[in-house]
Amino acid sequence: MIKNLIFDFGKVLVDYDFEAFFRKHIPDAERCRAFTPVLYNVEIQQLLDRESKPFDEIMEEVIYNNKEYEHEIRTFIDLYPTIVTCEIPGMYDLLTCLKAEGYKLYGLTNWCSKVYLTMEQFPIFRLLDGQIISSEEHVIKPEPAVYQCLFERFNLKPEECVFADDRAENIEGGRAMGMEGIVFTDAVQYEKELRQILKDRI
């Protein structure tokens, strides 16, 4: 029987747009195109998500290696919370409904320590019963250890959980640990797939 619903943060509970952020703060289109990959790439994002070193230290190293973009990088640091633009439509109401139905709600996110600035901005995070944040554990999805941390921290049985994430590889990581999963597209699609899982697991 499913008792616990697990949610990624970005693109599941809240939306973000790195490219729009860079376009807004770097009006020179050519410079913006050249700069965007400096920060918006898998290596940097994973460093920040894992945060084996503090956020500020990582960013100072990025500045050191990209001195021609120091101004843009410091703008990114200073205005980081504004990258997150809104809650995903329909998800606040859906989570409110699911919570009223008796399900426990948890977060499982790859995010740097700046995540708390985002969590303060949006009411949807107050619906969660707890969360695991990669930068606090220094492991990231889809590594098995981050899912195990979730189970142990909140005393959850994997077979009683359904995990929603916008990335298929993270869902596969959860399934390998015994959780059912839904690759998230939007609130309507998620609820449809969730209701079918709940029906099948009665």
Domain boundaries, the chain: 4-15+86-200, 16-83
- The string of pLDDT tens digits covering residues 11-41 is 999 999 999 999 999 999 999 999 999 999 9
Q: Got the DSSP string for 95-154?
A: HHHHHHTT-EEEEEE---TTHHHHHHH-GGGGG-SEEEEHHHHT--TTSHHHHHHHHHHH
pTM: 0.96
C-alpha 38 chain-centroid distance: 21
Name the CATH architecture for the domain at 4-15+86-200.
Answer: 3-Layer(aba) Sandwich (3.40)
pLDDT band at 53 (very low <50, low <70, confident <90, very high): very high
Nearest to 145 by CA among 58, 53, 50: 50
Maximal CA-CA distance, the chain: 59
Instruction: With beta carbons less than 8 A apart as the criterion, state whether 76 and 114 touch.
Output: no
CA-CA distance, 201 to 5, in Å (whole number)? 14
pLDDT band at 137 (very low <50, low <70, confident <90, very high): very high
Contacts of residue 193, defined as CB under 8 A and 6 or more positions apart, other chains included, come to: 182
